[in-house]
Amino acid sequence: MKSELLLYGYGIVCLGMLVFNVIYNIGLKQNGRRMEKRVRKMGNRIDAQMERIHTGGRIAPGHIRYLRRSLSHVNNLVAFERAIREYPAAADEAYGSYRSQIHPAILQLAVIALRQHAQSIFFAVQHHHARGGTQAAEKKTDADGRYAGDTGGIYEKRRSLLPGERPPGAV
């Protein structure tokens, strides 16, 4: 009786894993389709702006607002990158003009990324200090915040050289 119960349990676990894998694969296919749809949509938007540039105009201000808003999401950023990579006339001067005109949106995206990175560093340092790691960190960093380590080790503290200066002992 115990062995039958063990076999039934094993069968249920295997069936559960099989169902999970089927559902997971369906989800992956859906994500791929959604990404292709995003790439097509982003490509259509880029094509419309390239048309405006070819006719002698500038890209629409609404397009830059759209890029600022949408490229802060990772999936939209990936779709934008794929759409730009697939653009057929990358050597065209309209492409260069497009890139220079969307530069403010890309800069804003970089600032957002730096801010998020700085917040991550801040919370990591706060977590480190909350766990009592300040004494060890203070012992191993110099006044400039560089890692000093143990003297004579691979992370030995070294004085920064000014341009044109030679290290001590250099001929």
Q: What is the pLDDT of residues 51-101, one digit of tens each?
A: 888 888 888 889 988 988 888 888 888 899 888 888 765 557 778 888 888
- pLDDT value, residue 154: 43
- pLDDT value, residue 131: 60
Q: Which residue has the tokens 């094509």?
A: 47
Determine the Cα–Cα distance for residues 84 and 99; give it in Å rounded to an integer. 10
Lowest mean pLDDT among 103-107, 139-143, 152-156: 152-156
Determine the Cα–Cα distance for residues 107 and 109; give it in Å rounded to an integer. 5
Return the SS3 of 147. strand
Query: 136 exposed, middle or buried (CB, 10 Å; 0-12, 13-18, 19+)?
Result: exposed
Q: What is the pLDDT of residues 2-49, one digit of tens each?
A: 889 999 999 999 999 999 999 999 988 888 889 999 999 998 998 888
Predicted model pTM: 0.56
Determine the Cα–Cα distance for residues 44 and 48; give it in Å rounded to an integer. 6
- pLDDT value, residue 93: 78
Return the SS3 of 57. coil
Return the SS3 of 25. helix
Lowest mean pLDDT among 32-46, 100-114, 127-141: 127-141
CA dihedral 34, 37, 42, 45 (to 10 degrees): -140
Q: Which residue has the tokens 């779709």?
A: 79
State the amino acid at position 74 in one-letter form. Answer: V
Q: Which of 157, 155, 162 is closest to 142 using CA atoms?
A: 157
Determine the Cα–Cα distance for residues 56 and 50; give it in Å rounded to an integer. 10
Token output for 153: 């080790």
Determine the Cα–Cα distance for residues 59 and 45; give it in Å rounded to an integer. 10
